[in-house]
């Protein structure tokens, strides 16, 4: 057998696995210390009651001979895809339900969608960004070029005509910087993609956090976008589904290249290497779109926004440079007094018991930066920022 | 962008999608006709009450602030992996829980595990067999060679020293033929794999149906097997999880090649392109191993076995050649009066309203054969076999 040698080019472990290992080691050595986790982007508020009730009822259905269901439809149940299409209609986007594919999460789809592409593609990845965009392409041996996000461009890189790219990743609102593109900026990316005959992988996992007007919640409002963009989204951060697992991917039918339809290819890939999402989970996701579910979820998102505000105010008081927090659950700060983000991670863990995410884990431009998340509960956020202030005040 | 041209070498649609489309078209044209589905390997009996109760309780846990859980551990929850390890101990196999990876199903893992391999590997696939083994390798552009399963070798091909293979697929009990290897036969495959420096992908999805002694329920009893075999298994056919979605893959730590550990590579692949299985589903799978759950599940499997017996007896009476049905929910029969399995499929659907699976969908050797499954309910199976007898008696 010949293994995939590209794995040797990956960093030894996935960023969040490294953090978890460091935190576990610290806990073992200091079992008395209370650790405040503001690192991994994991939600903490319970599921909306409407979602819980729907999943409980679905589990019961499966326990009953008359209502039992086995394998579900290939793209996901109609009841869910129709809700997703309705959500897009509210954003002003019209989609055919056959363009929506339900999955167990955006992370799976972002990785697996690359099965549709040849090794010979140049991938354009923002720096800093969610590490799986680069890692999944390193695994496939693709050439990666980076689009620099920095304070000078408001952490929103724009197309550079001199760069040739075939696959373009956009994450908006961005993880980790929290920066979000306007509709007009996305339209510029779409025009660039069309000139380059490239495809855009648009990660909209944090769209529910957009609060300022003029910022995009989907890429599908730009002209000509249906010929060049796939959109990945998730219920993880919207409805607190990080442990429930549900997401979806939109593949417009106009997305065709060399006689191959990406919609048809993705259907073929998913029917061959995937067997759908749990019926129980799909019923839960459907309930997240009910009137009751929407209200309950909006309350959770408001609480996380409140936390983000708390973090921003604390950093304002300390005079620490940061971005994000407004249209995103992430706050991206310059490490006060440190140029190395892992050194800052260790210092903060050891001296304040606060866990964040080292910026360098998101790319070279993240060096010296640090990501805090607004997903912890209010008490944790307050205490963490008090400890933070005591250390750096 | 440059798409993966290997997709052009795939048959237009996945076997079971083609069947579903044909059945849907027939239903539209003949809405009055009652169709008896004995085709896709989908279960029909409801989930065990122990499983339903566990999933309901888990959904409630997620709705409560004190018991909410987000992202789960990377390989799956300990509570489930310990149960799986205990199941293996009952079969006489000792595994470290770190060698067990919980997933959303064996189909996903069988496809995704190929990410760990270079394109330059020769794949040995039984013919006939579950079509995803070949399809997933066609997508990656790998060379496929076939091991012929036919009446002469009892549908159990054995190693051929003249064939060089790097990745060897074994499905036992086999889908579609129902043939199951003995422990000694598997040991011979293991010795062959070691001589060839190959890896065995062992699909044990139907192990719970093994009823005759001397037949293997896991490959891990053979000597030296931990250096050359990965085992894929699923709760789909054991606990009726086709719509719930849970499976697992075993990757022994001794499986190392050229300095790369497959266990470490799979962990890296899964942490980068997957985010775990729903907590609710994992609690359901755990409950399938409880004393109560095991008893309830055994009752379901007994009912499916009873159905298989019903089908076998009907074919015996008609003098139709078949295999399987004893250690498997599948009955593999020679199409009476037809040499083309799709023609037989159409004839059976149109004249008896019975849906099965054309043997040619499982490989060239399946031509002229047909697969019936024992998963329909007793009434459906009886009626289907009566219609079958009326047509061919």
Does A271 contact B245 at a Cβ distance shorter than 8 Å? Answer: no
Domain over A50-290 is classified CATH 3.40.640.10: yes
- Look up tokens 């997620």; give the residue: B62
Please determine, for residue A12, whether its predicted confidence score (pLDDT) is greater than 90.
no
pLDDT at B185: 98
| Alpha helix positions (H), chain A | 15-29, 49-62, 78-90, 106-112, 132-139, 183-195, 262-273, 279-288, 291-318, 341-352, 378-392
Does B243 contact A167 at a Cβ distance shorter than 8 Å? Answer: no
Q: Are A191 and A225 in contact (CB under 8 A)?
A: no
In the structure, what pLDDT confidence band is assigned to residue B15 with cuts at 50, 70 and 90? Answer: confident
Angle at B75 between CA B70 and CA B79, to 5 degrees: 75
Q: How far apart are the first and last CA of chain B?
A: 58
In the structure, what pLDDT confidence band is assigned to residue B17 with cuts at 50, 70 and 90? Answer: confident
pLDDT at A40: 77
Q: Are B333 and B370 in contact (CB under 8 A)?
A: yes
- Look up tokens 């900026």; give the residue: A185
Greater confidence, B361 or B11? B361
Does B277 contact A243 at a Cβ distance shorter than 8 Å? Answer: no
Which residues from chain A sit within 8 angstroms of residue B197, using beta carbons?
A: 1
Which residues from chain A sit within 8 angstroms of residue B139, using beta carbons?
A: 115, 269, 272
Please determine, for residue B143, whether its predicted confidence score (pLDDT) is greater than 90.
yes
pLDDT at A219: 98
pLDDT, one tens digit per residue, over A226-236 is 999 999 999 99
CA distance B372 to B347: 15
Mean pLDDT (chain A, rounded)? 96
Please determine, for residue B12, whether its predicted confidence score (pLDDT) is greater than 80.
no
pLDDT, one tens digit per residue, over A75-131 is 999 999 999 999 999 999 999 999 999 999 999 999 999 999 999 999 999 999 999
Which residues from chain A sit within 8 angstroms of residue B104, using beta carbons?
A: 104, 245, 274-275, 277-278
User: At B383, which helix (H) or strand (E)?
Assistant: helix B378-392
Which residues from chain A sit within 8 angstroms of residue B3, using beta carbons?
A: 116-118, 257-258, 260, 262, 265
How far is the alpha carbon of A381 from chain B, nearest alpha carbon, in Å?
A: 16
CA distance B297 to B286: 13
CA distance B331 to B322: 7
Compute the average pLDDT of residues B265-282: 97
How far is the alpha carbon of B286 from chain A, nearest alpha carbon, in Å?
A: 15
pLDDT at A100: 98
Which residues from chain B sit within 8 angstroms of residue A104, using beta carbons?
A: 104, 245, 274-275, 277-278
Instruction: State both tokens at A197.
Output: 């005959």
Does B271 contact A10 at a Cβ distance shorter than 8 Å? Answer: no
Q: What is the DSSP string of A327-375?
A: SSSEEEEE-TT-S-HHHHHHHHHHHH-EE-EEGGGG-GGGTTEEEEES-
The beta-strand segments (E) located in A211-263 are 229-234, 247-250, 256-257, 260-261
What is the ipTM metric for this complex? 0.96
A230-252 burial code (b ≥16 CB/10 A, e <16): bbbbbbbbbbbbbbbbbbbbbbb
pLDDT, one tens digit per residue, over B34-76 is 999 998 789 999 999 999 999 999 999 999 999 999 999 999 9
Compute the average pLDDT of residues A306-319: 98
Q: Are A285 and A50 in contact (CB under 8 A)?
A: no
CA distance B205 to B173: 8
Q: Which fold has domain B5-47+292-392?
A: 3.90.1150
CATH 3.90.1150.10 domain extents, chain B: 5-47+292-392
Instruction: State both tokens at A334.
Output: 């310059």
pLDDT at A206: 97
In the structure, what pLDDT confidence band is assigned to residue A11 with cuts at 50, 70 and 90? Answer: confident
**Residue A302 to residues A38, A45, A211, A278, A372, Cα–Cα distance (Å):** 18, 11, 10, 29, 17
Cis check for the bond before A173: say yes or no (omega within 30 of 0).
yes
In the structure, what pLDDT confidence band is assigned to residue A56 with cuts at 50, 70 and 90? Answer: very high
- Look up tokens 């029917």; give the residue: A271
Phi, psi of B358 (to 5 degrees): -65, 130
Cis check for the bond before B167: say yes or no (omega within 30 of 0).
no
A21-55 burial code (b ≥16 CB/10 A, e <16): ebbeebeeeeeeeebbbbbbbbbbbbbbebbbbbb
pLDDT at A16: 82
pLDDT at A2: 97
Compute the average pLDDT of residues B15-35: 92
pLDDT at A332: 98
Does B63 contact A47 at a Cβ distance shorter than 8 Å? Answer: yes
Please determine, for residue A216, whether its predicted confidence score (pLDDT) is greater than 80.
yes
pTM: 0.97
Chains A & B: contacts with CB separation below 8 Å: 256
pLDDT, one tens digit per residue, over B351-393 is 999 999 999 999 999 999 999 999 999 999 999 999 999 999 8
Which residues from chain B sit within 8 angstroms of residue A49, using beta carbons?
A: 63
CA distance B360 to B365: 7
Mean pLDDT (chain B, rounded)? 96
In the structure, what pLDDT confidence band is assigned to residue A14 with cuts at 50, 70 and 90? Answer: confident
The minimal CB distance from A104 to the residues B40, B104, B284 is found for: B104
Cis check for the bond before B173: say yes or no (omega within 30 of 0).
yes
CATH 3.40.640.10 domain extents, chain A: 50-290
pLDDT at A83: 98
pLDDT, one tens digit per residue, over A15-38 is 888 898 999 999 999 999 999 999
pLDDT at B270: 97
Q: Which residue of A has its CA nearest to B166?
A: A1
pLDDT at A17: 83
Does B59 contact A280 at a Cβ distance shorter than 8 Å? Answer: yes
pLDDT at A39: 86
Please determine, for residue A153, whether its predicted confidence score (pLDDT) is greater than 80.
yes
């Amino acid at each position: 057998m010949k293994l995939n040698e590209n794995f040797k080019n990956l960093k030894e472990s996935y960023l969040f696995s490294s953090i978890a290992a460091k935190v576990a080691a610290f806990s073992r050595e200091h079992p008395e210390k209370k650790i405040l986790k503001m690192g991994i982007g994991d939600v903490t508020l319970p599921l909306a009651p409407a979602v819980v009730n729907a999943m409980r009822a679905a589990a019961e259905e499966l326990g009953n001979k008359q209502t039992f269901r086995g394998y579900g439809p290939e793209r996901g149940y109609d009841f869910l895809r129709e809700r997703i299409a309705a959500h897009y209609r509210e954003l002003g986007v019209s989609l055919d339900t056959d363009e929506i594919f339900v999955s167990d999460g955006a992370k799976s789809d972002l990785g697996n969608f690359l099965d549709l592409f040849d090794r010979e593609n140049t991938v354009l990845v923002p720096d800093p960004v969610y590490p799986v965009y680069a890692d999944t392409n390193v695994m496939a041996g693709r050439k990666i070029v980076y689009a620099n996000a920095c304070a000078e461009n408001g952490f929103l890189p724009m197309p550079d005509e001199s760069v040739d790219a075939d696959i373009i990743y956009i994450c908006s609102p961005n993880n980790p910087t929290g920066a979000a593109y306007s509709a007009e900026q996305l339209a510029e990316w779409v025009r660039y993609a069309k000139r380059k005959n490239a495809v855009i992988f648009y990660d909209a996992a944090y769209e529910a956090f957009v609060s300022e007007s003029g910022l995009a919640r989907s890429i599908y409002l730009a002209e000509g976008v249906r010929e060049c963009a796939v959109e990945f989204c998730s219920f993880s951060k919207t409805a607190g589904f990080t442990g429930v697992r549900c997401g979806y991917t939109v593949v417009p039918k106009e997305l065709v290249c060399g006689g191959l339809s990406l919609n048809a290819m993705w259907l073929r890939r998913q029917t061959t290497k995937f067997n759908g999402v749990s019926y129980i989970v799909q019923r839960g996701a459907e309930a997240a779109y009910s009137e009751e579910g929407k209200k309950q979820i909006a309350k959770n998102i408001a609480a996380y926004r409140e936390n983000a505000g708390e973090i921003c105010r604390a950093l304002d008081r300390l005079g620490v440079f940061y971005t994000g927090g407004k249209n995103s659950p992430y706050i991206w700060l310059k490490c006060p007094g440190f140029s190395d983000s892992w050194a800052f991670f260790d210092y903060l863990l050891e001296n304040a018991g606060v866990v964040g995410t080292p910026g360098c884990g998101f790319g070279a431009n993240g060096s010296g930066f640090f990501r805090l998340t607004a997903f912890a509960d209010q008490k944790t956020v307050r205490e963490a920022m008090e400890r933070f202030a005591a250390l750096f005040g």
